[in-house]
Amino acid sequence: MRQKRRYRNFSNLLFIAIVTLPVASGLVYALLYSLGFIGLLNKGFTTDAWETILLGKPFWSSLGFSFYIAMVTIIISLTVSLSIAISWRKNLNKGALSSLIYLPLCFPGTVMAFFSYQTLSKSGLLSRIGFQLGWIDDLRMFPSWINDAYGIGIIITSVLLITPFFIILFSNLYTSEKVEEYVQLAKTFGASKRQVLLKVTLPILLKKASVTIYLFIIFVMGSYEVPLLLGRQDPQMISVAILQKIQKYNLYDIPKGYAMSVLYVVLVIGVLFILYRKNKTFFKTEMKHS
């Protein structure tokens, strides 16, 4: 019993040392830098950086743009992955497809972004194929999907990156949550195919995957390489905007970059806290049966 407690204390300490401490230190450093306590050109306490960020447009437009990209990406990705996981269920469990589905997971974000650039840009593969087939008279007529205002290139690349994760997730959940048995039960209750999908399959899978979905929204919102390569200067996604402020030659912009990063983290933690307050089991992966 004592040994068990000692082991639990050690695990807690290890978690704090490896996970909590570095993140908390980074946040404290960023907060102190943004308030002028530390930094190359600090002149003591000032709220200038925070006032500029909170009252200016760039932070909020970057946040809004990041949220828009994340939501569109997740909605498309969920639609595609659920369709594939449900309709190709048997093929995903055996044969070549069960191995091939893991292949896109080997591509780093940067590689996938370059691949998208080569395929979707005005001088890219699709544009050239369209030109050769006579669908467009000039390569410049090809629609702007790279470095465009709507982030189409970023969305397509993010969808390509995260959809395999969701396919594997939903495919595994379908089996572990015994969805097939619920489906059969619902059928004997008289549920049509549409009713089975809308009232049984989708709610069970989406509810079970809800935490992962929320985390992926945050993951896409905070992605860096893909929007850096495929996005444009305005609007920028939040990570790109923060990094540009921190790494630019203008040293007076660094506190603003840190203020943006602290504010972004606070907002994300705030949203997670609200979700947790609404549902106390939000972060629990297992439910205890009474």
Partner 1 sequence: MKPILNIQDVSKSFGKEQILSHIDLTLEQNTVLSLVGSSGSGKTTLLKIIAGLETQDSGTIYLHGEEVSNMKPQHRNSIYLYQEALLFPHLNVFENIAFGLRLRKTPEALLKQKVTEMVSFLGMETHATKMSHQLSGGQRQRVSFGRAMIIEPSLLLLDEPFGALDSVTREKMQVLFKDLAKQMQISAVFVTHDLKEAIVMGDSIGKITKGELTQFSDLKSFYNDKDSGIKKEVEFWKQFN
The residues of the shown chain that bind partner 1, judged by CB under 8 A, are 177-178, 181-182, 184-192, 195, 199-200, 203-204, 207-208, 287-290
Q: Using the minimum distance from each CB to partner 1, give the nearer residue, 67 or 182.
A: 182
Residue 198 C-beta: closest distance to partner 1, Å: 11
Element (H, E) at 10: helix 2-15
E-strand stretches of 146-220: none
- What distances in angstroms separate CA 68 from CA 57, 149, 217, 235, 268, one per listed residue? 16, 12, 10, 11, 15
Q: Using the minimum distance from each CB to partner 1, give the nearer residue, 159 or 200.
A: 200
Scanning 16-122, the segments in alpha helix (DSSP H) are 21-34, 48-55, 58-87, 89-93, 96-100, 109-120
Answer whether 182's CB lies under 8 Å from 204's CB.
yes
CA 21 to chain centre: 24
Residue 185 C-beta: closest distance to partner 1, Å: 5
Residue 172 C-beta: closest distance to partner 1, Å: 16
Q: How many whole angstroms separate alpha carbon 1 and alpha carbon 7?
A: 10
- What distances in angstroms separate CA 43 from CA 34, 35, 37, 226, 256, one per listed residue? 11, 10, 7, 36, 15
Q: Using the minimum distance from each CB to partner 1, give the nearer residue, 123 or 281.
A: 281
Q: What's the residue count for the chain?
A: 290
Residue 206 C-beta: closest distance to partner 1, Å: 8
Q: Using the minimum distance from each CB to partner 1, give the nearer residue, 82 or 263.
A: 82
Q: How many whole angstroms separate alpha carbon 33 and alpha carbon 46?
A: 10
Q: Using the minimum distance from each CB to partner 1, give the nearer residue, 140 or 284.
A: 284
Q: Using the minimum distance from each CB to partner 1, give the nearer residue, 135 or 276.
A: 276
Report the SS3 class of residue 289. Answer: coil
Residue 231 C-beta: closest distance to partner 1, Å: 37
Q: How many whole angstroms separate alpha carbon 128 and alpha carbon 145?
A: 14
Residue 52 C-beta: closest distance to partner 1, Å: 45
Q: How many whole angstroms separate alpha carbon 63 and alpha carbon 77?
A: 21
Token pair in block for residue 119: 């395929």
Residue 192 C-beta: closest distance to partner 1, Å: 6
Q: Using the minimum distance from each CB to partner 1, give the nearer residue, 106 or 287.
A: 287
